């Protein structure tokens, strides 16, 4: 069995904090509702483009890569990545 290399660990929590459904998030990001569901469940690894669009629309997200955790946030027109 191959482990997932990258997981967004707080996408569902962040979406729910904003009072959004998966459908609403899909509408504002252009990412399919099914893909959002699969990313939240850890069944799909998001592309960098998808991760950037999510951060752009709902704010900072934490991403786990192996045993490391990174925080992705939009700063101006740039994407900032911090190691936790």
Question: What pLDDT digit, counting tens, does each position of 33-42 carry?
Answer: 999 999 999 8
- R_g of the chain, CA atoms, integer Å: 12
Question: What pLDDT digit, counting tens, does each position of 55-72 carry?
Answer: 999 999 999 988 889 999
Task: Report the distance separating Cα 43 and Cα 39, nearest Å.
Answer: 6
Give every CB contact of residue 4 below 8 A, 6+ residues apart in sequence: 42, 45
Cβ proximity of 6 and 46 under 8 Å: yes
Domain boundaries, the chain: 6-83
Tell me which of 2-11, 12-21, 38-47, 75-84 is least confident.
2-11
The CATH number that domain 6-83 falls under is: 1.10.260.40
Among the residues of the chain, which ranges form H helices?
11-17, 22-29, 33-40, 48-58
What pTM, to 2 d.p., does this model score?
Answer: 0.85
């Amino acid at each position: 069995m191959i482990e997932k290399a990258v997981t967004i660990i707080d996408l569902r929590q962040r979406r729910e904090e904003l009072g959004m459904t998966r459908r609403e998030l899909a509408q504002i990001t252009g990412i399919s509702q099914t893909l959002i569901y699969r990313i939240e469940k850890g069944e799909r690894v998001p592309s960098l483009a998808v991760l950037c669009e999510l951060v752009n629309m709902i704010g900072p997200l934490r991403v786990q890569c192996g045993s490391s955790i990174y925080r992705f946030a939009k700063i101006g027109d740039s994407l900032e990545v911090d190691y936790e």
